[in-house]
Amino acid sequence: MTAAPDAVAREVAARLEAAAPLNAVLHWSAGGIEAEARRVAAMPSAGPLHAVPLAVKDNIATLDAPTTCASRILEGYRSPFEATALRRLRAAGAMLVAKTNLDEFAMGSSTEHSAFGRVHHPLDPARVPGGSSGGSAALVAAGVVPAALGSETGGSVRQPAAFCGVVGVKPSYGRVSRYGLVAFGSSLDCISVFGRTVGDAARVLATMSGHDPLDATTLAEPPLAVPETPTSLAGMTVGLPTEYFPADLDPGVRAGVDRVAAALRELGATVTEVSLPHSRYAVPTYYIVAPAEASANLARYDGVRYGPPRPEHEADLRALYRATRGRGFGPEVRRRILVGTYVLSAGYYEAYYGTAQRMRARIAGDFRAAFERVDLLLTPTAPTTAFRAGEKTEDPVAMYLADVFVCPASLAGLPALSLPAGRSEGLPVGAQLIAPAGQDTRMLAVAAALEERVVAAGEVR
């Protein structure tokens, strides 16, 4: 998009208007977009993302629009500071155009757990866009913006990218600053990006990456590079982990991944089977580690320093806490805080949290061992295509299993992406690439090479 900022502003505003039925956006205003356009137009020189309209998940701190995390407890909250990643993107000329809907505090896999209503799948309103970054995924899929920020804790960008048929990239942990990303599971959280193309996503990722003195978990490394698209993958070995292709895998999903494997071979890569035996424990490990961290991360929402207006009748501090948090958090957030509190509590810590930490090390160890043999891993992103709204809301564990293939790379802190791999019965299928830590650019290069061959593939089954 190389149009003038004001023209981009008008066009994006019109598209946002048209996309309103998706309920993908929590905050936007024509005035806000125009102000961004004026800011970008006034920049002394055009940055690498000049006038690129960007939608941002509403758990990333922005200065002018609210930052609510789709939670009643932060309704109306305006952050007095801006996330480092977003600051860098805006300094490069990107225009913040909308704050997108999400599962409350990024806890969910369908964007049904938003306090402000569920997000609809752009191709079938009865289906979910995936989650938790469902709003950002739907906006990119609907063609409203070329790229959008989401966040990952256990696959919350890759899984909705697969459901919506867009590119979703999670960087290596520590390559993008978390400063200003509202914390859920701090050892897992990564600001991540959706793009209509690998190139769009890669440019956004490169711009926002790099060490941040405000985040002690960022690596002292320079920003990521935007990859060149290779014409051949000769000499590269790609592993298919057998555990990620169970017998009951959705046939359409399998066909899509098979097509990507075929494209890899066509490009000269060697494709071989590998084993990641502990990945089967990733979801239970994740559902101990993430809630444990969340139980502490969400303790700050106590109604003392910020938060919704106070219930008048609470004359006792403890009653105020309990009412603020009891009413302010939705059911899934409450469940996770309670599970996290339980697994850290006296007498249970070792059995749950201690065990999960050791399992996490084994899951990461499997990847390290596999990457001694192969350069990249290829798996399905999700076990199914987009499911129907309401299908998994009654059983939290069924919902958690939607992340079974994305969660392991999150636990291991690895870069991973979901690439559109055609459609099954009209719904997008995603194929996942996972790379060794720090190999983000190489992974993106392979995805760029594959993109032309598989994205426009159409029906795979």
Partner 1 sequence: MTWETVIGLEVHVQLATASKMFCGCAAVFGEEPNTNVCPVCLGLPGALPVPNAEAVRLGTVAALALECTVHPASVFARKNYFYPDLPKGYQISQYDRPLATGGRLAVESPDRGPITVGITRLHLEEDAGKSLHDRFPGLTAVDLNRAGVPLAEIVSEPDLRSPAEARAYLGAIKQLLVFAGVSDCSMEKGHLRVDANVSVRRAGEAAFGTKTEVKNVNSFANVERALEAERDRQIAVLEGGGRVEQVSLLFNAASGEVRPMRAKEESHDYRYFPDPDLPPLVLEPGWVAAQRDALPELPDAKRARLMAEHGLSGYDAQVVTAEPALADYYEAVVTAGAEPKLAANWVMSEVLADQNAAGALRVAPARLAALIGLVQEGTVSLQAAKKIFAEVAVSDGDPAETARRLGLVQVRDAGALERWVDEVLAAHPEEVARYRAGETKLLGFLVGQVMKRSQGQADPKGVQPVLRRKLG
Partner 2 sequence: MTISRDEVLHIARLAEIAVDEAELATLVSQLNRIVDYVAQLEAAPDEGQGDDFLPGPARVALRDDRVRSEPLAHPPAALAPAWRDGYFVVPRLSAMEDA
Q: Which residues bind partner 1 (CB under 8 A)?
A: 60-61, 67, 69, 74, 77, 79-81, 83, 178-183, 185-187, 213-217, 292-293, 295-296, 298-300, 302, 304-306, 315, 317-318, 321, 341, 344-346, 349, 353
Of 110, 132, 151, 418, the catalytic one is 132
Angle between helices 30-41 and 5-18 (to 10 degrees): 160
Residue 356 in contact with partner 2, rule: CB under 8 A:
yes
Residue 27 in contact with partner 2, rule: CB under 8 A:
no
Tokens 């002018």, residue located = 64
Under DSSP, is residue 96 helix (H, G, I), strand (E, B) or coil? strand
Candidate ranges 32-40, 74-82, 234-242, 421-429; the one touching partner 2 (CB under 8 A): 74-82
Of residues 188 and 417, the one with the C-beta less far from partner 1: 188
Of residues 363 and 429, the one with the C-beta less far from partner 2: 363
Count of residues binding partner 2 (CB under 8 A)?
77
Residue 39 in contact with partner 2, rule: CB under 8 A:
no
Phi, psi of 99 (to 5 degrees): -105, 130
Q: Is 192 a catalytic residue?
A: no
Residue 438 in contact with partner 2, rule: CB under 8 A:
no
- CB 264 to partner 2: min, Å: 27
- If we measure between CA atoms, which residue out of 131, 106, 104 comes closest to residue 120? 131
Q: What is the DSSP string of 311-331?
A: PTT--SHHHHHHHHHHHHS-H
**Angle (nearest 5°) at CA 163 between 158 and 167:** 45
Residue 281 in contact with partner 2, rule: CB under 8 A:
yes
Residue 326 in contact with partner 2, rule: CB under 8 A:
yes
- Which tokens is 298 given? 């969400």
Under DSSP, is residue 305 helix (H, G, I), strand (E, B) or coil? coil
Give Cβ neighbours of residue 350 (< 8 Å, ≥ 6 apart): none
Q: Is 57 a catalytic residue?
A: yes
Residue 184 in contact with partner 2, rule: CB under 8 A:
no
Of residues 72 and 259, the one with the C-beta less far from partner 1: 72
Residue 7 in contact with partner 2, rule: CB under 8 A:
no
Of residues 258 and 302, the one with the C-beta less far from partner 1: 302
Residue 222 in contact with partner 2, rule: CB under 8 A:
no
Q: Is 156 a catalytic residue?
A: yes
Dist. CA 42–CA 54, nearest whole Å: 18
**Residues composing the chain:** 461
Neighbour order of strands in the sheet with 270-274: 25-27, 95-100, 53-57, 147-152, 190-195, 167-170, 416-424, 427-434, 376-380, 237-241, 270-274
337 touches which of partner 1, partner 2, none (CB within 5 to 8 A by kind)? partner 2
Of residues 126 and 317, the one with the C-beta less far from partner 2: 317
Dist. CA 347–CA 338, nearest whole Å: 15
Of 71, 156, 177, 192, the catalytic one is 156
- CB 307 to partner 2: min, Å: 5
- CB 5 to partner 2: min, Å: 23
Report, as residue numbers or ranges, the catalytic residues: 57, 132, 156
